[in-house]
Structure 1
Amino acid sequence: MQFGIFDHCERSGRPPAETYQERFALAQRAEEAGFYAYHLAEHHGTSLSLVPSPNLFLAALAQKTKTLRLGALVYLLPLYDPYRLAQEVCMLDHLSDGRVELGIGRGANPIELGFFGFDPATAKQRFEDLYPLLMQGLVDGQMSRQGPKGMIEAPIDSRPLQKPYPPIWYPSAGGGAQLIWAAQQGFHTILNGPLESCAEAAKLFRDNFQPGPHGTQPKIGITRYVYVADTDEEALQRGEAALRYHRANLLKLANEAGYTIASPVIPPDNIAQAVSEGWAAAGSPATVREQIAAMADQVDINYFVFAPMMADLSLEWGLRTIDIFRDEIIPAFTETEKVRVRA
C-alpha cells in the first residue's frame, strides 16, 4: 500500500505566506519519506482553503520537489474554461517533469459553485459537456468548440509530458453511475465517507474497472483523519481540537447561509466517535498502524491519504507526523506487501 497527502491548506491563523511555505516544507519531508503524491483540494470563498488556484500553488510546489507527484483533487471542472485548463495542465506537467496527477470532479458545495454566477444544478451537465473538450485538448492538441459565429478549431501548442495524458482521478463519496463511469475509463479513485460506504464503492469500482493508458490495476484510495503522537492520550487530545476546527471550516459556508448540510463527507464532531466509526486513526504509532490496517482490510484499498497539517496544526506537528509514518508505519505495510507477493 502506498501513502499520500490530501490537503485543504486551511486558514490556520498564521499569515497565508507562512502557510504556503509550511506546506512546501511538509511536501519536501513527505517526498524524502517516500510518499507517493501531494493532492490539493480546490475551494472558494471559505477558510477551508487558502488555495483558490491549485495550478498557481502546484507550479510553485513543483519547483520545491523532485519526485513527489502532485495534482488537484479535484479541479472543479464546471468552473473552468476547458481550453485554458488543458493548456495549464500541459504546462504544469512539463514544469513538474511529468509528475501531474489529474483529479477532476463536479464540485461538492453548491454555495461555492454559485459564487461563480451559474446555477449549481447545472454542474453535472457542465461537467459532461466540458470533460470531452478537456480530453480532446490533451490528446489531440486542439479543441473543437462552438463560437459566436460557428465552430472554432482552437490549437493547443503543447502536449502533456505524460502520454497520452496524466493519470486521472475521480473521487467519490459513494457508488453510483458516475463511479462506474470513472472505473470504465481506467481512472483512479479516492473514497470518502463512512467506511461501509467506502467498502461498497471500492468493490463497485474494482468490479467495473477497465485498463487504461496508465495501467491494468487502479489505485483505490481512502482519505481519513490521522493524529499520531507518542501516546494515545496526546494524539486524542490534539485530534479533538483539530477535528473540531476542521469541521467548523467544512460547515462554514452552510452555517453562514442558514443551511443544514447532510453530507456523507462531514465527519462526527468528536474524536472518540470518529475513531470508533473509522473516520479517523488516532493514537500512538502502534495504535495508528493497527487502525489503518483495519481500514485497509475492510475497504480493500491500495492507497491511503491524509492531511498531516489539517486545521491549525503546526508545521512541527506535521513534520513529526511524516517522520513517524516514515519510521514506524509505512515499513509495516511495505513488509506486508512483500509477504503477499512471496505467497
Structure 2
Amino acid sequence: MDFGIFDHCERSSRSPATTYRERFVLAKRAEEAGFYAYHLAEHHGTPLSLVPSPNLFLAALAQQTKTLRLGALVYLLPLYDPYRLAQEICMLDHLSDGRVELGIGRGANPIELGFFGLNPGTAKERFDEMFPLLMQGLTEGKMTRQGAQDRIDAPLDSRPLQQPHPPIWYPSAGGGASLAWAAQQGFHTVLNGPLAACAEAAKMFKENFKPGASGANPKIGLTRYVYVADTDEEALRIGDRALRYHRANLLKLANEAGFTITSPIVPPDNLAQAVREGWAAAGSPATVREQIAQMADQVDINYFVFAPMMADLPLEWGLRTMDIFRDEIIPAFAPADVAVAMSN
C-alpha cells in the first residue's frame, strides 16, 4: 500500500508566508520518507485553505521537490475557464518533470461556488461541459466548442509531459453514479466519509472499473485523520484539539450562513468518537499502524492519505509524523520482498 498527503493548508496562528514555507519543508520530508504524492484541496473564502490557486502553489512546490507527485484534489472544474486550465496543467506538468496528478470535481460546498456567482444547482451541468473540453485540450492540443452563448476554437501550443495526459483522480464521499462513471473512465479515486460507506464505494468502484490511460491497476485511496505520537495519550490529547480546530474551519461558512451541513465528509466533533467510528487513527506508532491496517482490510484500499499538519499543528509535529511513518508504519505495508530488502 502506498501513502500520500491530502492537505487543506489551513490558516493557522502563523502567517500565510510561514505556512507556505513550512509546507515546502514538510513535502521534502514526505518525499524522503517515501510518500507517493502531495494532494492539495481547493477552497475559497474560508480559513480551511490558504491556497485558492492550487497551480500557483504547486508550481512553487515542484521546485522544492524531485520525486514527490503533486496535484490538486480537486480542481473545481465549474469555476475554471477550460482553455486556461488546460494550458496551466500542461505548464505545471513540465515544471514538475511529469509529476502532476490531476484531480477533478464539482465542489462540495455550495457557498463557495456562490462566491463566483455560480448557481450550485448548475454545477454538474458545468462539470459535464468543462471536462470533455479539458480532456480535448490535453490529448489533442486544441479546444473547440460551438455553444449557444460562446464559441471556442483555440490551439494549445504545449501538451502535457505525461502522455496522453496526467493520471486523473475523481474522489467520492459515498459512491453513486458519478463514482461508477469515474471507474468506467479508468480514473483513480480517494474515498471519504463513514467507513462502511467507503467500503461499499470501493467495492462498487472495482466492479465498474475499466482500464484507461493510467493502466489496469487503479489507486483506490482512503483519506482519514491521523495523529501519531510517542503515546496514545499524547496523540489523543493533541489530536482532539487539532480535529476541533479543523472542524470549526470546515463548518465556518455554513455556520455563518445559518444552516446545518449534512455532508458525509464532516467528522464527529471529538477525536475519541472519530477513532471509534473509523474516521481517524490516533495513538502510538503501534496503535496507529494497527488502526490503519484494520481500515485497509475493511475498505480494501491500496492507498492511504492524510494531513500530517492539519489545523494549527506545528511544523515539528508534521516532521515527526513523517519520520514515524518512514520508520515504523510504511514498512509494515510494503510487499513482503520489499520489506525483507528494507530490513537488510
Q: Distance in 2 between matches of 1:22 and 1:98?
A: 24
Report the residue type matching 1:300 in the other structure: D
Report the residue type matching 1:58 in the other structure: L
Query: What is the aligned partner in structure 1 of residue 113 from structure 2?
Result: 113
Query: What is the aligned partner in structure 1 of residue 10 from structure 2?
Result: 10
Q: CA deviation at 1:146?
A: 3.2
Query: What is the aligned partner in structure 1 of residue 76 from structure 2?
Result: 76
SS of alignment partner, residue 51 of structure 1 = coil
Q: Distance in 1 between matches of 2:21 and 2:151?
A: 44
Query: What is the aligned partner in structure 1 of residue 342 from structure 2?
Result: none
Q: CA deviation at 1:214?
A: 1.3
Deviations 1:247-290 (CA, angstroms, capped at 9, x unpaired): 00000000000011111000000111000000000000000000
Q: How many residues of Structure 1 are paired with residues of Structure 2 in the alignment?
A: 339
Report the residue type matching 1:185 in the other structure: Q
Q: Distance in 2 between matches of 1:148 and 1:128?
A: 16
Query: What is the aligned partner in structure 1 of residue 139 from structure 2?
Result: 139
Q: Distance in 1 between matches of 2:74 and 2:110?
A: 15
TM norm structure 1: 0.97
Report the residue type matching 2:56 in the other structure: L
Query: What is the aligned partner in structure 1 of residue 330 from structure 2?
Result: 330
Query: What is the aligned partner in structure 1 of residue 27 from structure 2?
Result: 27
Change (3 A) 1:270 1:162: same
Q: CA deviation at 1:55?
A: 0.2
Residue identity over aligned pairs, in percent, reads: 81
Q: Distance in 2 between matches of 1:243 and 1:125?
A: 34
Change (3 A) 1:319 1:148: same
Counterparts of residues 91-170 of structure 1 (less than 5 Å): 91-146=91-146, 151-170=151-170
Change (3 A) 1:79 1:119: same
Query: What is the aligned partner in structure 2 of residue 248 from structure 1?
Result: 248
Q: Distance in 1 between matches of 2:143 and 2:20?
A: 34
Query: What is the aligned partner in structure 2 of residue 57 from structure 1?
Result: 57
Query: What is the aligned partner in structure 1 of residue 223 from structure 2?
Result: 223
Report the residue type matching 1:184 in the other structure: Q
Q: Distance in 1 between matches of 2:154 and 2:178?
A: 29
Query: What is the aligned partner in structure 1 of residue 298 from structure 2?
Result: 298
Q: CA deviation at 1:151?
A: 4.3
Q: CA deviation at 1:71?
A: 0.2
Deviations 1:212-261 (CA, angstroms, capped at 9, x unpaired): 11111110000000000000000000011000000000000000000111
SS of alignment partner, residue 267 of structure 2 = coil
Deviations 1:61-110 (CA, angstroms, capped at 9, x unpaired): 00000000000000000000000000000000000000000000000000
Report the residue type matching 1:33 in the other structure: A
Report the residue type matching 2:179 in the other structure: L
Q: CA deviation at 1:335?
A: 4.5
Change (3 A) 1:336 1:203: farther
Change (3 A) 1:221 1:211: same
Counterparts of residues 201-280 of structure 1 (less than 5 Å): 201-280=201-280
Q: CA deviation at 1:132?
A: 0.3
Change (3 A) 1:149 1:121: closer
Q: Distance in 2 between matches of 1:150 and 1:122?
A: 17
RMSD in angstroms over aligned alpha carbons?
A: 1.3
Q: Distance in 1 between matches of 2:197 and 2:213?
A: 28
SS of alignment partner, residue 252 of structure 1 = helix
Q: Distance in 1 between matches of 2:127 and 2:246?
A: 28
Q: Distance in 2 between matches of 1:319 and 1:338?
A: 24
Runs of 4+ residues over 4 Å off in structure 1? 147-151, 335-339
Q: Distance in 2 between matches of 1:150 and 1:296?
A: 47
- Note the residue ranges of structure 1 that are not aligned, 5 or more in a row: none
- Note the residue ranges of structure 2 that are not aligned, 5 or more in a row: 340-344
Query: What is the aligned partner in structure 1 of residue 314 from structure 2?
Result: 314
SS of alignment partner, residue 63 of structure 2 = helix
TM norm structure 2: 0.97
SS of alignment partner, residue 13 of structure 1 = coil
